[in-house]
Amino acid sequence: MSEATTGDDPQLLIVPTHPGVQYHFCRVGLPTWFLGHWDQFHYWRPQPPNVHNVLPAFDEAHLDWGPADYARLLDDPARSGWPERYDMAWLMFNWQFKLFRERRELPKLYRVAKVAELERHEWDELLARDDFTVVSFYPNTVAWLKETYGVDVPYVPLGLDPDAYAPSTLEGGVLSIIHSWKDRGWHWWAVPEATEGLPFLHVDHLDPEQEVYEYADLQRELRRARVYLHDGEQEYTITLIEAMMTGLPLVSFRLPGIERYVEHGVNGFVVDDGHQAREALQQLLSDDGLAEKMGAASRAKALREFHEARWREQWRALIAEFLG
């Protein structure tokens, strides 16, 4: 992170979310207070230098905390610093909206991923509130809000530091990094047909039967993989962008909006079933030239569209505008 914080920067409060998401949002560079202790998620991503812990130490009991526990913490100013320490709360997910809906002391920025995160009556309330503003990192969500409510919600695509993602050697096999894939469904049913007999590593941080992959382990696997296999319920995941920045060719099951990231025949292939996925994977595993060409196209696209410098600049501008 190249941009240092200053004494004039706003103080942000962030509530624990998806660890990969919170890591990259914290890298916007502003002084950010984590409502808990970062060691709760240390194996997912390292703690950025601009992030401060609200709690002095991590306790295993924090892993079981729910909204009521965070409410009690917020209601204890001596422990949480709420609201005097902060200029804005940076929120995500339905339960965080509910946690802060009656805490009107400070502005709240709600960064929304999925439309289904909120019920329609909650969207009605959120968009009518002066103490909330909404920003999204999914174009489909931005389009839905425009069509449904006639509002122009800012779209800020994810940004990554290119220097943190060295180009892959392409010497490995097929890699996927998706937690709870079996439970969430999607195209898991097609994976055995797609990958049987192929060199395949699937990393799931929430699978108790799988070894824990530290962030350095994930980077190592990305740097040696040959091809990245993508699936999801929305257009992209953070690891898809990380795979692009690492210079991996991509194979993705067809998802709404996936063509924004996987350009069929350019930086990978978009497939409809396990048979098509297997054919695409085999082609990339056997053809060095094609893998190198598509991998280079992935890296180039990531540099153009998902650079951290652009991401940081957009977020800083939006926060400054919101806070006036």
pLDDT on residue 233 = 74
Stronger pLDDT, 256 or 270, i.e. the higher one: 270
The token pair at 186 is 């999607």
Q: What are residue 107's phi and psi, to 5 degrees? A: -65, 150
DSSP state, residue 30? S
- What would the pLDDT profile of 267-311 be if each residue is shown by its tens digit? 999 999 999 999 999 999 999 999 999 999 999 999 999 999 999
pLDDT tens profile 106-122:
999 999 888 888 999 99
CB atoms within 10 A of CB 252: 25
The pLDDT score that the predictor gives to residue 45 is 80
In the chain the first and final C-alpha atoms are separated, in Å, by: 25
Whether 100 contacts 108, CB under 8 Å: yes
The pLDDT of residue 23 is: 84
Q: Which residue has the tokens 């941080």?
A: 205
**pLDDT for residue 130:** 95
CATH 3.40.50.2000 domain span(s) along the chain: 12-159+307-323, 162-305
Q: Please report the sign of the dihedral spanned by the C-alpha atoms of residue 207, residue 19, residue 111, residue 1.
A: negative
How far is C-alpha 264 from the geometric centre of its chain's CA atoms?
23
| Structure tokens given for 304 | 């153009």
43-63 residue pLDDT tens: 678 889 999 999 999 999 998
Superfamily of domain 162-305: Glycogen Phosphorylase B; (3.40.50.2000)
Residue 83 neighbours by CB under 8 Å, 6+ apart: 77, 103, 105, 106
**Neighbouring residues of 202: CB distance < 8 A, sequence distance ≥ 6:** 175, 176, 177, 178, 181, 191
Q: Which CATH superfamily is domain 12-159+307-323 in?
A: Glycogen Phosphorylase B; (3.40.50.2000)
84-88, 131-135, 231-235, 313-317: least confident range: 231-235
